[in-house]
Structure 1
């Protein structure tokens, strides 16, 4: 995450304090606090709607899209927490009740309980993706309800004052961004399937542009949607080849769920698709010895890096972790690159009792771990184990580079439940 983007968010949230502090003298402090905390919720939700647009310029402010989704998640949690506090304080403002204020109150309650339910669905990651995806779209609708609630209800400060105008801007921003996210696959370029290869546990799909392709760097991912009935979902996949002159794209898709499992039977050469992107800031520094660690389908960005690698001035060791050797996708392609001086491939097969560790990596490279840059792509559990093990070998955490493998992430709810159950059994 980029500090500049975080500072912008903090500035947006803290700015209303200037006006509320100026007006609190001689007024109901509880009402002012309730209004400020409601302002925090509106601002946080408006920014989450902006981040949900996936506009590419956002990466220059906040960092890669994987980091943007993390900010998006925590802003949503901040918003619902602020709404709950606002509802608990429930500072009553005297004034004449009208139809509009009653409507605002009703919409406020709908917004609160609707957002609360959707946030729970979001952080409980074992809820199926299909259900989460469709319910998540309702977030914007409940934001609209909350914005109307804020506009219609009586407030201690007039809406024509700077604070009122400031908040109306965020209400408008959130609503406009929500409408934008409802557009059908916004900004996508048209492609057609040129080649399909069955890799066993995965599928390699090459697309060629119908007109102009997309601009991307090796290691980036894009959002892909096939123009077929039943495949309306938009999914992110890493582009598993470096940019090519003919602008074709190769996606290597692991058969992990219902959607990815059905793609192989549904698509054919000539099937149309839409691609939006590319996103991500997973790139090599290229100044030090390198250790690449791939877990399963996490091999895809390294395939892209290798496809443009013609020589290396520093040694590169790729550790590829799979359950079975047959699960090692594009293995022949990887082996062909071992002809490059300085590139070394290490296949780690768990079914053979092999387990990757920091000490195992240290024993297979001919340089000090502390002098290397480590690049990781794979499941979060393996990432944490690798970082812990390599730090014991002298690696600084600043030299451990990765992107979030799972864009949809929770807040550790499984661990919380496990802890509560353990306390219950021992209590």
Structure 2
């Protein structure tokens, strides 16, 4: 995550304190703190909505989309905590004026916003709820932001909307509203690239989908991903897929879909030649590392490496690709990678079949790559494997700085399961000692 993005968030949250000394004179400190929590929640939600637009400057400021979306999630959770505290801590102050029907309406909308957001945040972190149901409910977060903005604008508070702090919060509300309007606008109003499927091919336990542009093509770098929406297949929501082909002059693309979840299962069953789709992107910074490298792919995590292998220059530093699969029959794009490795002396392919050799771990790397400590390691695959490699690679001389991955997960929990697993492991260790 880029430091400039974190500094921007910190500055936005801290800016109200510029005017706080003047506002705080003669005021109840506890009530004033509650007032700030409400402001902080609005600021966090506005930035979260801004990140959700996926405008070009988002990655420039906040970092690659996987990191930006993690910040988006934690801003939402932080806003929810702030709203709960704001509701719990009495924010009422004397001498601010009399309550009117408009003030009462603002207070009511604030209550609706609180409970609505609480419900949606719970749905977001409860990852067992199907993706399409979560996506459908997620769009209401913007409505509750609007309720919260109305609540802020018209409740009684220790400053006026025309004061400097009031104008700043006006700007915050406008940014959040515009961002929400953009993400909620009809799809035809947002820029998308149109494509048509030209081939659907079985690749191991996945499906490769080739497509050609029907207008201006998307321009990407090897290793990037885009959001794709498939028309006429009952799949109205866009979903991210890594582009598994290097940039082509004619703008053709390929994605590789593995039936791993609710949506990807439906995608893999519904694709057909001639079908229209739309692409939004590209996004991501994966594969920008320089120098000698080791690429580790597991299952459909091979997709960015296929594109990177296609684009690998003849004069590039040596690359060893460790492809972890159950067996050859389940390995997407294996024949293509074997051909690329045969044609490119600086690309070495190692097929690790877990059915024969067991699960791949970092301990196996020194046997495969003599100079592992001098190389950068790029990984794409399941989260548990990534965590295991992150923990064990330093033992092989690979620092965290030289371990690169994109953890692009639209929905993630907040670590409760991992905490429970850790506590259980601790309990088991104590029981056996």
Structure 1 and Structure 2 fold alike (TM over 0.5): yes
2:23, 2:158 within 8 Å by CA — same for their partners in 1?
no
Runs in 1 of length 4+ with deviation above 6 angstroms? Answer: 419-426
SS of the equivalent of 1:243 reads: coil
Take 1:264 and 1:14, find their aligned partners in 2: how far apart are those partners? 47
> How far does residue 56 in structure 1 lie from its aligned partner after superposition?
1.9
2:203, 2:331 within 8 Å by CA — same for their partners in 1?
no
> How far does residue 124 in structure 1 lie from its aligned partner after superposition?
2.0
Deviations 1:213-269 (A, max 9, x none): 011100000000111141112110000011000000101111123432233443322
1:187 matched to 2:194? no
> How far does residue 79 in structure 1 lie from its aligned partner after superposition?
0.4
Q: What corresponds to 2:256 in structure 1?
A: 252
Take 2:143 and 2:316, find their aligned partners in 1: how far apart are those partners? 53
> How far does residue 370 in structure 1 lie from its aligned partner after superposition?
1.9
SS of the equivalent of 1:57 reads: helix
Query: CA-atom RMSD, angstroms?
Result: 1.9
1:203, 1:264 within 8 Å by CA — same for their partners in 2?
yes
User: 307-316 or 97-106, which moves further after superposition?
Assistant: 307-316
Q: What corresponds to 1:411 in structure 2?
A: 414
SS of the equivalent of 2:277 reads: strand
Q: What corresponds to 2:319 in structure 1?
A: 316
1:31, 1:156 within 8 Å by CA — same for their partners in 2?
no
1:192, 1:273 within 8 Å by CA — same for their partners in 2?
yes
Take 2:320 and 2:29, find their aligned partners in 1: how far apart are those partners? 62
Take 1:423 and 1:384, find their aligned partners in 2: how far apart are those partners? 18
Q: What corresponds to 1:154 in structure 2?
A: 156
Take 1:210 and 1:357, find their aligned partners in 2: how far apart are those partners? 44
Q: What corresponds to 1:328 in structure 2?
A: 331
* 1:412-427 matched pairs, under 5 angstroms: 412-417=415-420
TM-score, structure 1 as length reference: 0.95
Q: What corresponds to 1:375 in structure 2?
A: 378
> Per the alignment, do residues 265 and 36 of structure 1 end up closer, same or farther by CA in structure 2, a change over 3 Å counting?
closer
Take 1:247 and 1:422, find their aligned partners in 2: how far apart are those partners? 50
SS of the equivalent of 1:247 reads: coil
Take 1:332 and 1:58, find their aligned partners in 2: how far apart are those partners? 37
SS of the equivalent of 1:223 reads: strand
SS of the equivalent of 2:364 reads: helix
* 1:12-161 matched pairs, under 5 angstroms: 12-94=12-94, 95-161=97-163
Deviations 1:132-178 (A, max 9, x none): 11111111111111111111100011111000010011111111111
SS of the equivalent of 1:242 reads: coil
1:196, 1:269 within 8 Å by CA — same for their partners in 2?
yes
Take 1:418 and 1:387, find their aligned partners in 2: how far apart are those partners? 18
1:123, 1:413 within 8 Å by CA — same for their partners in 2?
no
Take 2:275 and 2:31, find their aligned partners in 1: how far apart are those partners? 59
1:222, 1:276 within 8 Å by CA — same for their partners in 2?
yes
2:130, 2:262 within 8 Å by CA — same for their partners in 1?
no
Take 1:20 and 1:348, find their aligned partners in 2: how far apart are those partners? 60
Take 2:199 and 2:85, find their aligned partners in 1: how far apart are those partners? 55
Q: Which runs of 5+ in 1 are unaligned?
A: none
* 1:272-421 matched pairs, under 5 angstroms: 272-287=276-291, 289-339=292-342, 340-367=344-371, 369-417=372-420
Take 1:360 and 1:419, find their aligned partners in 2: how far apart are those partners? 25
> How far does residue 415 in structure 1 lie from its aligned partner after superposition?
2.9
Deviations 1:173-221 (A, max 9, x none): 1111111111234321111111211224211111111111011100000
Take 2:234 and 2:329, find their aligned partners in 1: how far apart are those partners? 30
1:231 to 235, 247, 271: 235
> How far does residue 312 in structure 1 lie from its aligned partner after superposition?
4.5
SS of the equivalent of 1:366 reads: coil
1:191, 1:207 within 8 Å by CA — same for their partners in 2?
yes
Take 1:351 and 1:245, find their aligned partners in 2: how far apart are those partners? 40
- How many pairs were matched up? 424
> Per the alignment, do residues 365 and 424 of structure 1 end up closer, same or farther by CA in structure 2, a change over 3 Å counting?
closer
Q: What corresponds to 1:9 in structure 2?
A: 9
Take 1:284 and 1:176, find their aligned partners in 2: how far apart are those partners? 33
Q: What corresponds to 1:172 in structure 2?
A: 174
User: 158-167 or 311-320, which moves further after superposition?
Assistant: 311-320
> Per the alignment, do residues 264 and 116 of structure 1 end up closer, same or farther by CA in structure 2, a change over 3 Å counting?
closer
